[in-house]
Structure 1
Amino acid sequence: MTETLEHPSAGSGDRAVVARLSTLDRFLPVWIGAAMIAGLLAGRWIPGLGAALDAVKLDGISLPIAVGLLAMMYPVLAKVRYDRLDTVTRDTRLLVPSLVLNWLVGPAVMFALAWLFLPDLPEYRTGLIIVGLARCIAMVIIWNDLARGDREAAAVLVALNSVFQVLAFGLLGWFYLDLLPGWLGLDTAALEVSAWDIARSVLIFLGVPLAAGYASRRFGERAKGRVWYETRFLPRVGPVALYGLLFTIVILFALQGDQITSRPLDVARIALPLLAYFALMWAGSFALGKAVGLGYERTATLAFTAAGNNFELAIAVAVATFGVTSGQALAGVVGPLIEVPVLVALVYVSLWARRRLSFRNPLERINAETAETGA
């Protein structure tokens, strides 16, 4: 959520992985935990907080929360290099598996895990399914850098996911929350899901910051140059994403306080399918990247972009569609608290695999493909 890191040199030690994070990112689980505690205390100590937050609304949610949600999204989308789409779209060994993993496998895996772990908790289950539909666009660039993945490929996959989410999120939400459970004979009586409500939330809380991020990149570079944009502008706006996330968490936990403190086991149950999801998606994607002949850098990129999720969008959709005090919103808020330490651990696993496993050199693969074409 903060500024993308400089790519580490080949000789730097793996033990310095966490040290290469900025202070904000290094202690992200601590900040999220502190925001949760602050929210719980605010909910108990500030009378009339809920009424004040509902005084002015945007798309059915309070204006302060809407501002926090938009602040989470814009800096990440301002970092994307929209002019580099063709550098990845030409590599079908990376592009096709990435699209399949992100838009077919990932949502299906989360759907299965949500029903497996939370068959009796429909609100949390729905929240997790929404998380599964919100594909990576945020912290994945940092995890990819730490694991020495392909930075440009990660940025392009992030851009593709951003655009695709605007087009497909509402349709997939309707499919996984309404149509598919009906086909499978699952009980959806407790759910009242409007595909239009979800699509409208995505258009507002992803479409608006996506357009703003694209405009910032295009006109900022045109006016001041790419060096200024990358070295001066992005470092200033980057931390705003984290501040927006923390602000939103404080408000959500202030309004969710009674539910959280009275049901700690529910929070633990939300965490279990998330842990299983990260492990399955990362390991399966890493194995697939190696199997199709990608080099280590793009294999790592494939794994992290498939395993990461856009919790900012999931929170925005859950809050706008189901309400700020809903179980769906709580499931989204618990997400980043689990994602950060798990994906940091997977960075170490990735670096270990880099040393122990043999990967095809990208230059060797390109030469081989050229020879095959010539033959």
Structure 2
Amino acid sequence: MPEAALAGDVAAPPAPRLFTRPATVASCVAFVLIGMVQALYGPSVPGLRDTYGLSPAGAGLGLSLHFTGGVAGVLAFNAIHSRISNRALLAASYCLMAAGGAGFALAPNWPLALIAAFLGGLGFGGIDYGLNQLFAVGFGARSTAMLNILNAHFGIGAVLGPALVAWLGPGDYAMAFGVCASLSAALILCTGGVRDAASQPPTGQPRPAQGTLVSRVLVGFLVLYILNVAVEAGVGGWEPTHLETVGYGVTFAASATSVYWLMMTVGRFLVVPITLRYAPEVILTVCAAGMTGCLLLALIPGAAPYAYAGVGLFIAPVFPTGLPWLNRALPGAERAGAWVIAASMVGGVAAPPLLGAGIESSGIHAVPWLLAALSAASLAATVWLKRTATAGQAPA
């Protein structure tokens, strides 16, 4: 269904632009930054182990504290957003990210490094929440397209981060975190082009029924985001092991996983013109069906690398495209965006160990089956949300 059909006969007034063009560019750079920082922790493990004398599990705590700080940052900045300006929210987030990155690079011991990882995570969460929320309402009819462009830059950062560590060497991980800290500090100077405006739903937009229906729709979005991030993290974490198990070499498996992440970035750019023609719920339904089909195709060893790349392409638009749908379905629920962003982070933390438990009992060959089950559940959640959210909307 074309997006234009959703507006009915009432033309909505243009939404105020919250970003100047330089501020929009700076926001995309900020997403490159958070993609880099998140992707630095894994390749830095050998250097962290040498520096602090850690076990592999101990070194992995850095990323866990980063994600924990991210969830806390989303919820904390959402709680105070109504009392501070958009510019102050982003400036504070960049400051925390800079302090955390510098602290992690210079920490004399592992406990202080973990505190710095948590501090940087707070900034990460503020940037993730703040820019996603503002882009979802700040570009009018182009918000879905702009959100996909914004989140595509996260993928660029996720590719650049490991490349930077590979170029410097794991032992020089501190320099990589220092570069990110410096970039974050510089972005504080770029917040002047961020404006404040009330994010009220346009006149003529459907408003949902209140009470129980709102709760059900919000829970549906929470489930959708948790499941999709679980699939995203699950493929990224287990694709190399699965490919090695079915006969591919270690180098090929690692390269195929890089292609998966690259396809997530490409997919967000490719979907931009599609978002201008079709409603978010239509795009998300197609994406969920495509993900599920690709994961089932991954059961065939010869097709598995290409199937995982297909998963990356289909899953790419889900996170950014779902936010405008959420804002339209629950225009009065100001905290809804923060909760789903936080839920996505929880899914990223919880999915790998839970999948690991399932794989331990079922074997590595079960990876596509387990991920396909999660993807099928996300498809069911999407279809349920389409029916429930639409049924609960009435003209204002």
Q: Normalising to structure 2: TM-score of the pair? A: 0.34
Using CA pairs under 8 Å that are at least 6 residues apart, name the structure with larger relative contact order, 1 or 2.
Answer: 1
Q: Normalising to structure 1: TM-score of the pair? A: 0.36
